[in-house]
Amino acid sequence: ANVEVAISFNGTTPVSGEYTFTGNVTNSSGSKMININSTSLISNNSFTNSFKFLLNNNFSTGNYIAWVRVVDGGGNVVIRSTSFQVRDWTLTFAKSDTGSGFDYEYSAFPNASVAFDVFPVERVNGTILSNLSQSAFNFTLKNSLGAVINSSNSTLFNASCGKGGCYKYSIRLPLAIGLYRLSAAVNYSDELLSAERVISVLNSTMTITPGDGEGQLKEQFGTSEAVYLTVKAKNQTQDINVTYTRLDALLYENGTYLTYTEVSNWDNVNGSNDALEWAWNITHQRLKVDVPKGGGSYFARVSADNGTIIGNARFIVNPYDSCISAKTTAGSVGSGSYYAWQYKVSDVVYFEVKIVQADNPLGKAQSANGTSTYRNYESYGMGNACSWDTTKKQVVNNATLSVDEVVNMQTGIKANLNLSASTCKSDDDSGGYTCTIRHANDSWDGGRYSVKLKLLGQDGKTSDITYGLFEARAFYLWAWSSNWLNQPGGNITFNIRMYQAGSNWWNAWGTSGLSGSVKIEKIEYYGKQGEWIYPAVVYDYNLTGLNDTTISSGAGTLYLNVSLAGKKSWDSGSYSVVLKGTESGGNTDFGQAWFEVRNWDSYASPVELTNAGYDYKSYFGAKDNITLYVRITSAGDYGWGNGGASLVNDRSNITISVKKIIDYSSWPARDVNTSRYNATIINVNASSPWYSSATKTSHSGYLLNISNLGNSWNTGYYSVVLDINGTETGWGWFNTIAFYVNTQPIDIQGNYKYNYKGSGPVHFLVTTTKGYKNSYTHNVSTGITDYVNTTIKDIKLTRWSDTDYRTIEYSYPRDFNVTNASHLTINYSRLVSLNYSTSTWPSGYYYGSIILQNDANETATGYIWFNVQPFRVDYTIDSYTIGTSDNITGMLRVRNPDWSNNTIEWGNYTVTEIYQESWDYNSRIKNSVTNFSPRNFNGSTNLSIAAPSNGWVPGWGNVVAVVYDNTTNTSKSVWIGFRAALFNVAFGSITSQDTITQTQNVTIPVTLTNPVGGGIASGNLTRVYETIWPNTYDYQFTIGGCTSTTSGSCNITSTGNVIVHAPSGGWGEEYHYLTFVFANANNLNSKMTEYAPWFRVRAA
């Protein structure tokens, strides 16, 4: 156990001084158990430290008090105490995994019978106390006034529940609606523990879904939008409409309630004023709510029918999208080598921040459209720069950024910052900022830190928050198990890397890594899936006499021998190994490694039967029965073969069944009542392959069939929990739809057609069926008998323009329509033709959806896509590599937009412009090229593009040619890539390349030739350097009689030997990769970079 003491003054950590604490631990009788030895609290540990002591045999179960006496340098004394409890066992109880009787979470209808699982568990190993009598239990149900409604102790031990069984308890709820508290008390070993659950008894339940005005799901909103909260209510027998719903409260994530005013209708909800308003619409069963100006998460509490029904919803206000990436230097650096998220404890940390106006699409909130884009956990310690395409995103300039707080995520302590140095500033006019984070004492505590930044827009009203991450340690330990899943009787092997931030990253081991040793501090056990133990318990593993693992040059291997486990085998579940490393200089730090133990690994995939085997089935019909194929192997067996391996030593059967099904079609998710379905049970004794390799002849015994006993499944996603032999769990999944819509772009004859010129309608074959059809392996119009009649309800369509890089949404039927009104009805299968309102479709890539409705008013969606290009242009370049002053030459052709048709489209065309296009981390840059010929052509021509007056920039480049059709007044672009070179560089062989000594100069032969046609070329070598992150090292070189220390550059004409001098301290003992910078002999500002061959330095 630990007693931790932290010094603060009014919540603020001091910046200087020295403190010590001493004390003792006493039991409930006041008897002293142990002394707390003198422990220092200084700036190096951020005035926080702990005293660790062992709970030995003198400690029995009961309550204890830790007393500490803290003394400062002036002799001032403060005495504080804290209490803790020693327990041999813990108690948890929760609603039953299956058949709980609750509608969702802990809400149920009146008079419902609800069931609970009770787990009294030994702390030392997580074992259930299976020998308790009923007299040890007492359950009490109280109403909101505290009156006892029910008291009983009727429990039954169920050995098949959980890992080692559980105690089952059920109770029938009262008829009166309201909040009730159910407490469970267990008396064991003269110790009484209790736990409590709050139960809501409701006549009706209600789910609230945030979305747009049409009721489509939407969880993120900009400050110029409105939030629509759709209400869905039901009682014990059916769905119901509510007559009136009100917004009771809107809670911001920081605990602040916002004040809202009700207005009479949706039109009066005015987002442009400063008032926050809401209105109810009974027809749509929907609330319209003003969006707050502050970015973050909001929680809405909604009530209906005089407060008898309560619902909650969460939505996000996201005014800005921000990317935040930790880096090693301030300002715009533009190079990936500056970005990292691991630092030394003495480092100053910088954050690059890019801010743009947010796009908040329909659908669930995801990382791709989140408030903040984290760019930290890339390449295990290294990171990447932020990047926005500013031609598609509106940048946010003139914002005010401030550092709100920096918190150590492992201790929860706020870091003491140098406030004058921890500031943010603008880097550019493209939404770029740098924030500096500096510790007050330049000494971070070891751990991972969360950095919270506040953003205030230029309007002074719109605000947001964003978070960044970094880690600071004396050095880093990275360890991973050779096998994530391991058998209970198997030994565990870990690979370990020891490295220091700033260099020697975990994968750069060898001569670069740290050396030292690693030992196991303890092994923690977290329980298993569905039965987690938190906090984790220390696993019974004998560490006595266990040798430390030697780390040499940053790498080592650690072994856990199962024979040292208390049971001589591992329990099924998740484990972490706490590691303590000591590097050769004596510094210590900690790391953690994870592994999992299971007997079996199992997944159940939704499938449909084919002639010989099984195909993946993306969707089942809402009234269909479900078929799942079970893939099961022994843990750690990842083979893709045909299975057949024994699952247990004696090849006896194991039983697999459905433990429960969870319905995610609405939120919160609900367990599907077991009375609504019937699932088969399978018994197998050998492993199975993936469904794609299975056959009906050999693997039909691995099918789980789930029959729907109700009217239909709700449409949406379902998770299936598998029971494996009553001791472990697996999982599966399936999706359901009301009916399936298949759409294919075709021409009027029914042939596949994706590309159009734009004039006239575009056509789709729309087919609607009860169940999903795998269009890749089945003909969707032949041999199908489960057609359904549907009607087109709406069509969504979006165009992506590749000329101006914009997305444009079109409205149906305003911007386009179905050519024939009778075609709005789909009788099994129909050709649906769409016409643009002004006859010609604009050029671009179109994608969208057709929403259809069946006779039961259920809806489903089919997806449409097509491409409109008046023509396409290609360019065949004569030579990809050219000189910096050479022309680009090649054949320019105009072709039919359909890629299957390469005929020339003869006509009257003009090359209207040619430009160079480049991108940096902030924006797209466009530079015009004015000298080219010819400008006019009839469909095919040899186009020559002259170099700019200052020549092409050396390296890979591109130009874009824009071709205009003078007849149809449309244009298309073609991208032309090339490589411009001052000259071609060839490096010769390095003598003794693999055995260079640390003081040896390295001779590298270089040959220069003209980039086109060969021939002698002349150029100057201006620099030789090497990057060993985070530093760059320049080296002296000599060519003939020219030395870089006395000349700015040295010339090479045709061939030359470049002698690179060893640095004054000698080469590092490792592989070296040098970079040569060459320049035009007549223009030293025109440069190109080449990479020399490697060489390896070894100690003499």
| pLDDT(803) > 70 | no
Residue ranges of domains in the chain: 2-86, 89-201, 205-317, 320-472, 476-597, 600-737, 740-867, 872-981, 984-1096
pLDDT by residue (tens digit) across 389-410? 655 567 788 888 999 999 888 6
Phi, psi dihedral angles at 619 (to 5 degrees): -145, 140
Closest CA to 130 of 138, 114, 117, 119: 119
Confidence of residue 158 (pLDDT cuts 50, 70, 90): confident
**Structure-block tokens of residue 1028:** 């060993």
| pLDDT(337) > 70 | no
Best CATH choice for the domain 984-1096 from the list 2.60.40.2410, 2.60.40.10, 2.60.40.1660, 3.40.109.10: 2.60.40.2410
Best CATH choice for the domain 320-472 from the list 2.60.40, 1.10.3470, 3.40.50, 3.60.40: 2.60.40
Query: Which pTM value belongs to this model?
Result: 0.55
C-alpha 319: how far from chain center: 21
CB 544 within 8 A of CB 586: no
User: At 1024, which helix (H) or strand (E)?
Assistant: strand 1018-1028
What distance in Å separates the CA atoms of residue 924 and residue 687, rounded to the nearest whole number? 54
**Structure-block tokens of residue 953:** 């920039």
**In angstroms, what CA-CA distances link 381 with 340, 506, 587?**
6, 8, 20
Confidence of residue 874 (pLDDT cuts 50, 70, 90): very high
Alpha helices in 342-414 (DSSP H): none
Q: Measured in Å, how far apart are the chain's first and last C-alpha atoms?
A: 52
Phi, psi dihedral angles at 86 (to 5 degrees): -105, 125
Confidence of residue 17 (pLDDT cuts 50, 70, 90): confident
What distance in Å separates the CA atoms of residue 667 and residue 56, rounded to the nearest whole number? 48
Q: Among 863-867, 1040-1044, 1083-1087, whose mean pLDDT is lowest? A: 1083-1087
Question: What's domain 205-317's architecture?
Answer: Sandwich (2.60)
Q: Among 523-532, 775-784, 790-799, whose mean pLDDT is lowest? A: 775-784
Encode 348-384: b = buried (16+ Cβ within 10 Å), e = exposed.
bbbbbbbbbbbebeeeebeeebbbbbbbbeeeebbbe
| pLDDT(239) > 50 | yes
DSSP assignment of 792-832 equals EEEEEEEEEETTTTEEEEE-TTTTEEES-GGGGEEESEEEE
pLDDT by residue (tens digit) across 1004-1037? 999 999 998 888 999 999 999 998 766 789 999 9
User: How many CB atoms sit inside 10 A of residue 847's CB?
Assistant: 16
Confidence of residue 80 (pLDDT cuts 50, 70, 90): very high
Percentage with pLDDT > 70 across the chain: 90
- Write the CATH number of the domain with boundaries 89-201: 2.60.40.1930
What is the arithmetic mean of pLDDT over 237-243? 87
pLDDT by residue (tens digit) across 441-500? 888 877 789 999 999 987 788 889 988 889 888 888 888 998 888 989 999 999 998 887
Three-class SS of residue 337?
helix
Predicted confidence at residue 377, as pLDDT, reads 39
Predicted confidence at residue 1036, as pLDDT, reads 96
- Does the fold of domain 984-1096 match that of domain 476-597? yes
**Structure-block tokens of residue 1012:** 């086109």
Specify the higher pLDDT residue, 916 or 770.
Answer: 916
Confidence of residue 924 (pLDDT cuts 50, 70, 90): low
pLDDT by residue (tens digit) across 616-645? 988 888 888 999 999 999 887 776 566 778
CB 916 within 8 A of CB 857: no
612: number of CA atoms within 13 Å, CB side? Answer: 4
Residue with tokens 């590097």: 583
Average pLDDT for the chain:
85
User: At 532, which helix (H) or strand (E)?
Assistant: strand 531-538
Residue type, 137: F
| pLDDT(21) > 80 | yes
CB 815 within 8 A of CB 837: yes
Question: What's domain 740-867's architecture?
Answer: Sandwich (2.60)
HEC sequence for 586-609: CCEEEEEEEEEECCEEEEEEEEEE
User: At 696, which helix (H) or strand (E)?
Assistant: helix 696-699
Residue type, 1016: I
What distance in Å separates the CA atoms of residue 949 and residue 907, rounded to the nearest whole number? 33
Fold of the CATH domain 600-737:
Immunoglobulin-like (2.60.40)
Cα 168–Cα 173–Cα 177 angle in degrees, nearest 5: 150
Confidence of residue 105 (pLDDT cuts 50, 70, 90): confident
Residue with tokens 């109810």: 280
**Structure-block tokens of residue 747:** 């021409």
Confidence of residue 369 (pLDDT cuts 50, 70, 90): very low
Q: What is the DSSP letter of 174?
A: P
CB 540 within 8 A of CB 126: no
Residues 6+ apart with CB under 8 A from 282: 241, 243, 244
User: How many residues would you count in the chain?
Assistant: 1100
Can you say whether the dihedral through the CA atoms of 290, 292, 296, 298 is positive or negative? negative
Parallel, antiparallel, or unpaired for β 728-737 and 620-621? parallel
Three-class SS of residue 1075?
strand
- Whether domain 872-981 has CATH 2.60.40.1940: the reply is yes
**In angstroms, what CA-CA distances link 788 with 770, 833, 854, 859?**
6, 20, 7, 12
What distance in Å separates the CA atoms of residue 372 and residue 364, rounded to the nearest whole number? 15
Residues 6+ apart with CB under 8 A from 343: 326, 349, 444, 470, 471, 472, 501, 502
What distance in Å separates the CA atoms of residue 650 and residue 89, rounded to the nearest whole number? 36
What is the arithmetic mean of pLDDT over 313-320? 90
Three-class SS of residue 413?
coil
| pLDDT(869) > 70 | yes
CATH superfamily of 476-597: Macroglobulin (MG2) domain (2.60.40.1930)
Quote helix, strand, coil % in the chain, to nearest 5. 5, 55, 45
Predicted confidence at residue 170, as pLDDT, reads 94
**In angstroms, what CA-CA distances link 206 with 110, 176, 228, 546?**
15, 18, 16, 58
Can you say whether the dihedral through the CA atoms of 236, 242, 248, 250 is positive or negative? positive
What is the arithmetic mean of pLDDT over 177-187? 93
Predicted confidence at residue 866, as pLDDT, reads 92
CB 91 within 8 A of CB 154: no
Sheet holding 463-472, edge to edge: 342-343, 463-472, 447-456, 400-408
Closest CA to 328 of 385, 377, 388, 372: 385
Confidence of residue 327 (pLDDT cuts 50, 70, 90): confident
Parallel, antiparallel, or unpaired for β 600-609 and 728-737? parallel
Confidence of residue 432 (pLDDT cuts 50, 70, 90): confident
Cis preceding-peptide flag for 319 (omega within 30 of 0) = no
Cα 466–Cα 468–Cα 472 angle in degrees, nearest 5: 155
Q: What is the DSSP letter of 790?
A: E
CB 890 within 8 A of CB 873: no
Confidence of residue 538 (pLDDT cuts 50, 70, 90): confident
- Write the CATH number of the domain with boundaries 2-86: 2.60.40
User: How many CB atoms sit inside 10 A of residue 641's CB?
Assistant: 11
| pLDDT(509) > 80 | no
Three-class SS of residue 16?
coil
Closest CA to 674 of 10, 97, 118: 97
pLDDT by residue (tens digit) across 893-923? 999 988 888 899 999 999 999 998 765 444 4
CB 117 within 8 A of CB 97: yes
Predicted confidence at residue 391, as pLDDT, reads 55
Confidence of residue 163 (pLDDT cuts 50, 70, 90): low
What distance in Å separates the CA atoms of residue 842 and residue 799, rounded to the nearest whole number? 9
HEC sequence for 725-768: CCCEEEEEEEEEECCEEEEEEECCCCCECCEECCECCEEEEEEE
**In angstroms, what CA-CA distances link 1017 with 24, 78, 1041, 1053?**
83, 81, 20, 6
What is the arithmetic mean of pLDDT over 29-53? 85
CB 835 within 8 A of CB 819: yes
What distance in Å separates the CA atoms of residue 604 and residue 741, rounded to the nearest whole number? 25
What is the arithmetic mean of pLDDT over 116-130? 83
What distance in Å separates the CA atoms of residue 355 and residue 62, rounded to the nearest whole number? 55
Q: Among 105-119, 649-663, 989-1003, whose mean pLDDT is lowest? A: 649-663
